[in-house]
Amino acid sequence: MVKFIKWFFIGIGALVLIAVIGYQWLIHNTKKHSPLDKVEYVESGERIAIDYCRPYKKGRDIFGELLPYGKVWRTGANEPTTFLTSADIMINGKTLPAGDYTLWTIPNEREWEIMFNGKQYDWGVGFNAEAAREPEHDVLVTNAPVQMLNDTISQFTIDITKQESMTLSFAWDNVRVELPMEWAE
């Protein structure tokens, strides 16, 4: 009986080890096609950090095809995009409190709906291939117009810049969406 218990635990240990190695292998292979990137913006001691995975166009029609209009997108690949702000931000007259969020969008032909969601999710989509976002956890929802580009952006890009105001931008394929933001007072 002792020998059976010993081999049972060795078998369980081996299965756990195989599962951990397999999971790490899956993550590595998934991320090499849509690599992880980080955007950091610091101004006057306040910080915004965005972690997201950057899929490639690979000759595909992106908006309206790969990403159907009117459907929630995890705004990148793999895990949902995360958005951290160390201070309150004003976006289109609404306050986004300091904190950690997941960032979701609904691409449309003329404008995008952008949602900052207070829940952290393990993966961006469920087994039904639909976005994992739960709308009841949305902290701020806003819209931003689509700008059509003359050039093609081959890899999805999120950026924060500051000219006249701080701007969160999304660019991919021939589309750019800019969302003006400012630190709340």
> Per-residue pLDDT tens for 39-88?
999 998 999 999 999 999 999 999 999 999 999 999 999 889 999 999 99
DSSP type of residue 80? P
| Residue 12: pLDDT band with limits 50, 70, 90 | confident
* Cα separation values, 171 from 55, 148, 168, Å: 11, 10, 10
Helix residue ranges, H only, the chain: 2-33
Mean pLDDT of 140-153: 97
- Which tokens go with 83? 């958005």
d(CA 174, CA 162): 22
d(CA 148, CA 142): 20
Over residues 166-184, the pLDDT tens digits come to 999 999 999 999 999 999 9
Task: Please provide the size of the chain in residues.
Answer: 185
Instruction: Indicate the pTM of the whole model.
Output: 0.81
